[in-house]
């Protein structure tokens, strides 16, 4: 449960290798309140360095558990088990996802379907299971890492964009379903983030960093926001992008 000052004391990260999530958790720990961190990853036995890194900034209870976005049958049992341990989880962060390559997806539809399953279907099962646990304890927040790419799918990455569009719509509906339960959903829509996932790519205008996204997440949680854009002005940019005539949008998105 959050402490008397509303600070987060325990966090579950589904997608514990995410740079954004790891920076966010480290900042939460450094604020002197968050002490328990659970990292859901495909290979828990390879997380010793990550666990040590979080412990170095002050967490006293850090662990890694098995989590595979492409194994939805296992999500419910794992998440129910964590909530059933008798200790509250204040925040669950859905941070897993793959960017992939559009040309590869077009030549390999199976790879495209797997990416879409990771980004969307995996988040549906994990998100619903997490929401159920949070609702049962009567409080908490679910953070969903979406993307501005979901606002309007671009020719240059429409498989990724469409999966993020589905994720974003799911998170909005889930948030609406939780109103009055003591649980809220924070949707995070970053633009281009300089990270290992985007290494070697040409950055888009108004690009950002995991550190900036982490600050936006923490601020959004503190103020119980529903959606945060990172950086903030992207909200207005995409408000215009959504209404561009289709021929113009096709030219813009093909070059993006």
Answer yes or no: are the C-beta atoms of 28 and 36 closer than 8 Å: no
- C-alpha triplet 43, 46, 47: angle, nearest 5°: 100
DSSP string, 171-238: HHHHHHHTTTTTEEEEEEEE-SB-SSTTTTSPPPTT-B-HHHHHHHHHHHHHTT-SEEEESTTHHHHH
Residue 245 and residue 22: Cα distance in Å, rounded? 39
DSSP of 135-164, one letter per residue? HHHT-EEEEEE--GGGTS--GGGHHHHHHH
Residues known to be catalytic: 160
């Amino acid at each position: 449960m959050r402490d008397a000052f509303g600070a987060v004391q325990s966090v579950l990260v589904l997608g514990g290798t995410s740079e954004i999530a790891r920076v966010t958790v480290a900042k939460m720990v450094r604020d002197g309140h968050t002490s328990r961190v659970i990292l859901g990853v495909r290979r828990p036995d390879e997380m010793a360095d990550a666990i040590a890194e979080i412990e170095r900034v002050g967490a006293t209870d850090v662990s890694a558990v098995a989590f595979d976005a492409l194994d939805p049958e296992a999500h419910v049992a794992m998440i129910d088990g964590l909530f059933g341990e008798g200790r509250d989880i204040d925040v669950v962060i859905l941070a897993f996802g793959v960017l992939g390559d559009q040309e590869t997806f077009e030549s390999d539809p199976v790879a495209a379907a797997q990416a879409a399953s990771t980004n969307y279907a995996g988040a549906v099962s994990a998100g619903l299971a997490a929401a159920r646990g949070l609702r049962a304890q009567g409080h908490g927040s679910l953070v969903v890492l979406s993307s501005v790419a979901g606002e309007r799918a671009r020719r240059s990455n429409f498989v990724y964009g469409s999966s993020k569009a589905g994720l974003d719509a799911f998170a909005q509906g889930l948030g609406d379903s939780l109103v009055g339960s003591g649980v809220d959903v924070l949707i995070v829509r970053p633009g281009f983030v300089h990270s290992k996932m985007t290494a070697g790519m040409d950055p888009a205008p108004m690009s950002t960093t995991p550190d900036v996204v982490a600050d936006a997440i923490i601020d959004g949680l503190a103020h119980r926001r529903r959606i945060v854009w990172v950086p903030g002005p992207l909200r207005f940019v995409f408000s215009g992008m959504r209404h561009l005539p289709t021929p113009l949008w096709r030219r813009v998105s093909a070059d993006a």
